[in-house]
């Protein structure tokens, strides 16, 4: 692969990964019912709202899950993949392309949660200011799924090992669920 193609792929990964992450954060924030008064929450909502407001008329929420945000994040992954295939000089099999986009979105979702849990646990371990907007935002995103795990796990010597267990489970999901899905989609594309 030429240096130009590597640089172009890096830029595509960065730009479309940031867009997909932003819309995933919006979906997670709505599901977790994050307070809107936080400046980071306001940034996420205001930057995604121009795209999601018209789309939500068609794709309504399912319970607390913003389906429009998931659709836009998936579309960002699909556009990134399409541009990467065009740069490589080919067009993918449509079924493999759609499945690969979904697999990469699932992998990104799991990675975002790993990073959120890591930041949350690092902030509490280092005694960061819980009133800081970033730490408050991350805590509100992470607390709902972590709460049941924290109740079931004992603390040993005052240490909470639930973040480590949650990160381990998420990494296993990346390896055992997202990885095979991406591999299968890639084989569909190559086999076409």
pLDDT number for residue 1:
61
Q: How far is CA 137 from the centre of its chain?
A: 15
**Selected residue with higher pLDDT from 29 and 123:** 29
Helix (H/G/I), strand (E/B), else coil: 159: strand
Which helix (DSSP H) or strand (DSSP E) does residue 39 occupy? helix 39-55
pLDDT at 168 over 90: yes
- Is the pTM higher than 0.75? The answer reads yes
More confident residue, 191 or 82: 82
Q: Which domain holds residue 96?
A: 3-191
Q: Which residue has the tokens 């995933």?
A: 24
- Identify the DSSP state of 157: T
Q: How far apart are the C-alpha atoms of 151 and 175, rounded to whole Å? A: 26
Residue 126 pLDDT level (bands cut at 50, 70, 90): confident
Percent of the chain scoring above 90 in pLDDT:
70
Domain count, the chain: 1
* 48 within 8 A of 26, measured Cβ to Cβ: yes
Describe the chain by its helix, strand, coil percentages, rounded to 5: 80, 0, 20
Given a cut of 80, whether residue 156 has pLDDT beyond it is: no
């Amino acid at each position: 692969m030429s240096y130009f193609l590597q640089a172009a792929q890096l830029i595509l990964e960065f730009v479309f990964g940031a867009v997909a992450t932003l819309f995933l954060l919006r979906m997670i924030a709505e599901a977790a019912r994050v307070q809107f008064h936080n400046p980071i929450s306001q940034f996420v909502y205001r930057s995604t709202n121009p795209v999601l407001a018209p789309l939500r008329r068609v794709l309504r929420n399912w319970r607390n899950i913003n389906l429009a945000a998931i659709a836009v994040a998936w579309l960002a992954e699909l556009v990134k993949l399409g541009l990467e295939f065009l740069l490589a000089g080919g067009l993918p099999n449509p079924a493999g392309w759609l499945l690969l986009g979904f697999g990469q979105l699932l992998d990104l979702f799991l990675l975002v949660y790993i990073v959120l849990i890591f930041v949350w646990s690092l902030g509490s371990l280092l005694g960061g200011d819980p009133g800081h907007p970033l730490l408050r935002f991350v805590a509100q995103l992470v607390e709902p799924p972590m709460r049941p795990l924290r109740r079931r796990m004992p603390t040993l010597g005052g240490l909470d090992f639930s973040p480590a267990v949650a990160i381990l489970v998420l990494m296993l999901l990346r390896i055992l669920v997202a990885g095979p899905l991406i591999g299968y989609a890639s084989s569909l594309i190559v086999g076409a």
